[in-house]
Structure 1
Amino acid sequence: MDSSSTRRQNTRRRLFDAAVTLIAEQGFSSTTVDEIAERAGVAKGTVYYNFASKTVLFEELLRHGMELLTDSLRRAAEESAERGGTRVDALDAMVRAGLDFISRSPALTQLYVAELWRTNRAWQPTLTRVRQSAIAVIESVLREAVAAGELSPEIDVPLTASALFGMVLVAALDWQSFQPDRSVDEVHAALSRLLQGRVSGGIR
């Protein structure tokens, strides 16, 4: 990667960080490009050089963030498999990876959850696609677990994958907002017990 590409990536990252913080604080409509530029420490023209509009910036922010989350889930499953774990162990590792990601990016996750249900937004199709990409990673592990006899063949894979994804998002946001004194280990342990009891159903 050449230096100009590295600079552009760094600039986009600063703009993403500035935008997610401001929008989480005051909402999308109330946040201006001038404010994003000022918070990022760049000229206003730099924002438009990298993004056609504030809407495009926000859409790219949400897409990029959720792709990072998906990569974290996929990597957790792969590393669990490399250690010789079962597919249920891989699901548990994905739960932990999701919690770790959200603990590092709570504002981004909060924005994603809030915007996912607003179907009149310009970026809603993008959010739907990145959501499905994340859920597809979970579905893949669930199908492997069913095929290996680790989970019951009666499991509704698509719905279970969506439920697991939603469980991690909502539990993590609840933890960050209302139970911040808890450690990530405590939250993971609680969700792990739920996963083992409800999804694996004692089949392991």
Structure 2
Amino acid sequence: MTGRTSATKRKLFDATLRLAGTRGMVGLTVDEIAAEAGVAKGTVYYNFGSKDGLIDALLRYGVDLLAARLRSAEGSAADTLTFLIDGMLGFFAEYPTFAQLLVSELWRTPGQWQQTLTLLREEVTSIIRGQLQRLADEGEMPEGIRVETAASALFGTVLVVALDWQVFNREQTGVEVRESVLMLVRGLRRG
């Protein structure tokens, strides 16, 4: 992907998120997205084929950004949960409309982007699962905890808490939100 194409796609992603944040995805048109991005309508079709193609690419792009943050969540066993939670909270604070889009589309069944979201959810939870498995292998988690379930629970908890924070509790700091989530998940760790 060339720099120009990448910049154009980023403009379209940003415009879509801005509009979705104020109006939602339902009824949003290609004309409105193109106008918000300051590009011709044909640019959307050229880059994505359709509005659905744009949304699909936007979901993939957002999850790629989130996955990159989570992959960088390396540290000592004591810091793993903090790094994972900080990575997710930071991402959703930076992209609150993406969090809204994920929540609304993940639980809409059957959803238009269900297949894409299933793959993307697996990508994110597999990173979390890998980190939690490392903790389990190091004896840092109680016996009997299913790592796969714990990974899904951590992802879902942070996603919903981040959305709640951005929509209803903006006065809280990221550290306060993180500490609240850590208090909830301390049961994942021994000691």
Q: Deviations over 1:80-128 (max 9, x none)?
A: 2xxxx11x41122110111010000001111111011112223110001
Q: What is the aligned residue count?
A: 191
| Sequence identity (%) | 44
In structure 1, runs of 5+ residues without a counterpart are none
Give the conservation status (yes or no) of the 8 Å contact 2:70–2:87: yes
* Distance in structure 1 (CA, Å) of the matches to 2:81 and 2:120: 19
The one-letter amino acid paired with 1:50 is N
Structure 2 contact 165–172 (Cα < 8 Å) conserved:
yes
For the aligned residue pairs, the C-alpha RMSD in angstroms reads: 1.3
Aligned to 1:161: 151
Amino acid at match of 1:18: A
Counterpart residue number, 1:55: 52
- Describe the SS at the equivalent of 1:131: helix
What CA distance in whole angstroms lies between the structure 2 residues aligned with 1:97 and 1:132?
Answer: 17
Contact residue 16 and residue 61 of structure 1 kept, 8 A:
yes
1:54-79, Cα deviation, whole Å (9 max, x unpaired) = 01101111121012111111112x3x
Equivalent position to 2:4, from 1, 7, 31: 7
1:147 to 137, 143, 156: 137
Indicate conservation of the 8 Å contact 1:95/1:168, yes or no. Answer: yes
- The SS at the match of 2:115 is helix
Q: Are 2:121 and 1:131 aligned?
A: yes
Structure 2 counterparts to residues 1-204 of structure 1, below 5 A: 5-76=2-73, 78=74, 80=75, 85-86=76-77, 88-195=78-185, 197-202=186-191
| Structure 1 residue 198 displacement after superposition | 1.4
Distance in 1 between residues matched to 2:126 and 2:19, nearest whole Å: 31
Instruction: State the secondary structure of the residue aligned to 2:160.
Output: helix
Unaligned runs of 5+ in 2: none
For residues 98 and 177 of structure 1, what CA distance do their matches in structure 2 show?
16
